[in-house]
Structure 1
Amino acid sequence: MKIAIIGGGAAGLMAAITAKRLNNKIDIDIFDINKAVGKKILASGNGRCNISNTEISFENYIGENPAFVIDALKQFDFNAFEKFCKTIGLILDIKSSCKVYPLSNEAKSVVNLFENELINLGIKQILETKIVKIKKENEKFILQSLNKEFNNYDKVLISSGLQAAPQLNSTEDGISIATSFKHSFNLTYPSLVGLHTDFEYKSKLQGVKKESTVSLYIDKQKQKEITGDVLFTKYGVSGFAILDISQYAVYPLSLYQDVAISINLFPNLTKNELLGILENLFKTLKHSDVFTALSGIVSRKLALVILEMNNINKELKSKDINAKHIRAIVNSLTNLRFKIEDTQGFKHAEASGGGVRTDEVDSKTYESKFCKNLYFAGEVLDIVGNRGGFNLHFAWASGYLAGKSLAKQ
C-alpha cells in the first residue's frame, strides 16, 4: 500500500510515524513545499516551541463545531502525547502554567527528532515540491506538482495547513484540493494576531505595555472579556490579551460587523477605588502639575494621552483639578474604547481560523465523507485553538487519528 502525505508539519509528521509504526509494510511519501519538514514548528513559541498543554478540552478550540476535536483529544490526550515523545527521544518540560515545551527549550530539537524517526522508519521526504492538484482514477490517487506527476497512491492525507505565516511558504492549496473533491470550507482568517484600531493617539502610545482587561463588543454587544498584557503599537494593539481576544474578533470583522474593544487599564481596582487613589494623589502633589501627578500611576506616555483626550492642560496644578476632570480620567483609564479596523494579517498571525468544514470529515478517522481514502488533519480543518500549545496539540492528535486510519489495509 502506498500513501501520500501533503504537508510535513506537525499533523503530517505525526500521521506518517503513527501509520508506519502500525503497518511497516506500507510505503509513505511526505511532500513539503519547503527545503525541510517542520518549518512552522521551528517558528512556534518564538523558537522555543510551546508544544502542547496539560489541560486541554474542546472548549479551548474555535470553529463551526469545536466538539469535532473531542474524539482526537480522548484518544490522544497529553499523557499519550508525552509517551509518544519519549519514543522518539523528546523529553518535555511541563510548566506550572500547564504549557509544555521541549526540555531543550529549542524548537529545532523537536524537528530534528521527528526527522530522525522518519529516517529510521524509511519514510520518504519529497521536498521543495508543491502539490497543486490531486485526481482519483480507478481507486488510485494521482498527485500533480508544478512540473511532475506522482502516481498510484492508495490513500492521501491533506495536512498542508492554511495561510498563517506565508513567509514560511504557507498556502491554502489544501482547500483548493478539498474543493476539487466536493468539499466546502468556511472563510479563513488570521488568528492570534495584532489588531489595527481607529484610536487617534495610537502612535503616541507606541511601546506602552500594561496588564489590562480587554472587552470585545460585536455590533455594540459585549461578547468576550480577557485579562492579560496589552501592548500599544503604531498600528493599534498587541500583547497576549489582544492575541487571545483576536480569535473572537477577526471573523466578525471579516463579515463587516462593527467590532470594538474596551481596555480597562486597572482591572484589579473598582472605579471608586481608582477615583479615591487619584483624589489622594492630586491632594498629595497639589503644587505639582497634573501630568507629573498622573505619571505616578501610569506611564508618562499614557498620562499625556489621557490628559489630551480629556482636554486637560498638562501644566494645570493638581490643586486646581476639579471632580469632573477626575471622573473623566477614571473613565478613560477603565474604559479606553476604540473600533477595530483591520488586523496585522496572516504574515503576523500565529494561526489561521476557518478551513475545510468539519461536518464533512469523520471525527474518529479523519477520512473525507465524500471521497474514500482521502483524509484531512491539522490546521487545514476549520478548527483553531487558543494560545498556549492548543493548536500544536490538535495537530498532533488529528495526525495520530489520521495515521491510524492510513495504516489500515
Structure 2
Amino acid sequence: MKIAIIGAGAAGIMACITAKRLNKNLQIDLFDANKGIGKKILASGNGRCNISNSSITSKNYIGENPDFVNFALKEFDFKAFEKFCKSVGLLLDVKESCKVYPLSNEAKSVTNLLELALNELGVNIYLESFIRDIEKVDEKFNIKLDETEYKGYDKVLISNGLGAAPQLNANESGLEFASKFGHTYNSTYPSLVGLKTDNTYNGKLQGVKKECNVILFVNNNLEQEIFGDVLFTSYGVSGFAILDISQLAVLNLSSYQDVKIAINFFPKINKNDLADQIQSLLKTVPNQRVVDILTGMVSNKIAPVLLDICKINIDTKANEINAKQIKAIAYQLNSWKMKIVDTQGFGHAEASGGGVRTIEVDNRTYESKLVKNLYFAGEVLDIVGNRGGFNLHFAWASGYLVGKSLVK
C-alpha cells in the first residue's frame, strides 16, 4: 500500500511512525515545504518546545464542536504520549503547571529524534516540496508539485496546518485541497495572538508590563476572566493573559461581534478600598503633583495617561484633587477598558482557529466522511487549543489515530 502524507509537523510525523510500526511494508512518502521537519515544533515554547500538557480535556479546545477531540484524547492521553516519547528516546520534563517540555530543554532534540525514527522506519521524506494539487483518479491519488508528479497513492493525509506563522511556510493550501474534494471549512483566524486596540495612547504605554486580571466582554456580556501578564505595546496589548484571552476574543471578532477587554491592575483590591489607599497616599505629600505620587503604585508611563483619561490636569497637586476624581482614578485602575479592533495577524499567531469542519470527518479514524481514503489531522481541522502544549498534543493524538487507520 502506498500512502502520501502532506505536512511534516507533529500530526504528519506521528501518523508516519505509528503506521510504519504497525506495517513495515507500507510505502509512506512524507512531503513538507520546509528544509527540515517539524518547524512549528521547533518554534513552540520559545524554542524550548512546550510539547504537550499532562492535564487535558475537551475544555482546553474551541471550535465548532470541541467534543470532537474526546476520542483522540482518550485513545492517546498523556501517558500514551509519554510512552511514545520513550520509544524514540525522548525523555520529558513535566512542570507543576502541567506543561511538558523535553528534558533536554531544547526543541531541536525533539525533531532530531523524530527524524531518526522516520529514517529508521524507511519513511521517504521529501523536503522543500510545495504541493500544488491533489487529485483522485480511479481510486488512486496523485500529488502534483511544481515540476514533479507522484502518482498512485492509495491513501492521503492532509496535515499541513493553516496560516499561523507564514514565515515557516505555513499556508492554507490544505483548505484548498479539502474544498476540491467537497469539504467545507469555517473561516480561519489568528489565535494565541496580540490584540490591537483603538486607543490613541497605545504608543505612550509601550513596554509597560504587569500581572493583571483581564476580563473579556462580547456585546457587553462578560465572557471570560484570566489572570496573568499583560504587556502594553505600540499596537495594543500582548502578554500571556492576552494571548490566552485572545482565543475567544478573536473568534468573536471574526464574526463581527463587539469585543472589549477590561484590565484590572489591582485585582486583589476593590475600587473603594483602592480609592481609600490613593486618598491616604495623596495626604502624605499634599504639595506634590498627583502624577508623580501615582508612580509609587503604577508605572510612570501609566500615570499621565491615567490622569488624561480621568480628565485631570497633569499639574494638579495632591491637595487640589477631590474625592470624585480619586474615585475616577480607582475605577479606571480597576477597569481599564479597551475596544479590540484587530489582531497582530497570522505572522505573530501561535495557532490558527477555524479550518475543515469536523462534522465532515470521522472522530475515530480522522478519515473524510465524503471521500474514501482521504484523511485530515492537526491544525487544518476546526480545532484550536489553549496555550500550554494543547495544540501540539491534539496534533500528536489525531496523527496517532490516523496512523492506526492508514494500515487498515
**2:14 match:** 14
**How far apart are the structure 2 equivalents of 1:285 and 1:227?**
33
**1:206 match:** 206
Cα shift readout 1:286-345 (whole Å, capped 9, x = no counterpart): 232211211111111111110121222233221221101101101110111121111100
**2:250 match:** 250
Decide whether the 8 Å contact of 2:164 with 2:351 is kept in 1. Answer: yes
Matches of residues 369-388 of structure 1 in structure 2 within 5 Å?
Answer: 369-388=369-388
Code of the residue aligned with 1:183 in structure 2: it is H
Q: CA deviation at 1:256?
A: 2.1
Name the SS of the counterpart of 2:296 in structure 1: coil
**How far apart are the structure 2 equivalents of 1:288 and 1:350?**
46
Code of the residue aligned with 1:218 in structure 2: it is V
Cα shift readout 1:65-100 (whole Å, capped 9, x = no counterpart): 000000000000001000100010111001111100
**2:116 match:** 116
Matches of residues 294-305 of structure 1 in structure 2 within 5 Å?
Answer: 294-305=294-305
Decide whether the 8 Å contact of 2:272 with 2:327 is kept in 1. Answer: no
Q: Please, what is the CA RMSD of the aligned residues? A: 0.9
Name the SS of the counterpart of 2:79 in structure 1: helix
**2:66 match:** 66
**Higher mean displacement: 27-36 or 218-227:** 218-227
Matches of residues 151-162 of structure 1 in structure 2 within 5 Å?
Answer: 151-162=151-162
**How far apart are the structure 1 equivalents of 2:209 and 2:392?**
28
**2:322 match:** 322
**How far apart are the structure 1 equivalents of 2:71 and 2:119?**
30
* TM-score under structure 2 length normalisation: 0.98
Matches of residues 5-404 of structure 1 in structure 2 within 5 Å?
Answer: 5-404=5-404
Q: CA deviation at 1:102?
A: 0.5
Decide whether the 8 Å contact of 2:290 with 2:318 is kept in 1. Answer: yes
**How far apart are the structure 2 equivalents of 1:285 and 1:384?**
52
* TM-score under structure 1 length normalisation: 0.98
Code of the residue aligned with 1:354 in structure 2: it is G
Q: CA deviation at 1:166?
A: 0.3
Cα shift readout 1:128-163 (whole Å, capped 9, x = no counterpart): 111121111222111111221101111110000000
Unmatched runs of 5 consecutive residues or more in structure 2: none
Identity %: 64
Moved over 4 A (4+): none
Cα shift readout 1:164-189 (whole Å, capped 9, x = no counterpart): 00011001111111111111000000
**How far apart are the structure 1 equivalents of 2:256 and 2:24?**
51
**1:406 match:** 406
Cα shift readout 1:217-259 (whole Å, capped 9, x = no counterpart): 2222222111111100000000111111110011221222221
Name the SS of the counterpart of 1:300 in structure 2: coil
Cα shift readout 1:256-302 (whole Å, capped 9, x = no counterpart): 22211111111111112211211111112223221121111111111
Code of the residue aligned with 1:297 in structure 2: it is M
Cα shift readout 1:347-405 (whole Å, capped 9, x = no counterpart): 00000000000010000000000111111000000000000000000000000001100
**Higher mean displacement: 111-120 or 271-280:** 271-280
Code of the residue aligned with 1:288 in structure 2: it is Q
Code of the residue aligned with 2:276 in structure 1: it is G
Unmatched runs of 5 consecutive residues or more in structure 1: none
**Higher mean displacement: 362-371 or 278-287:** 278-287
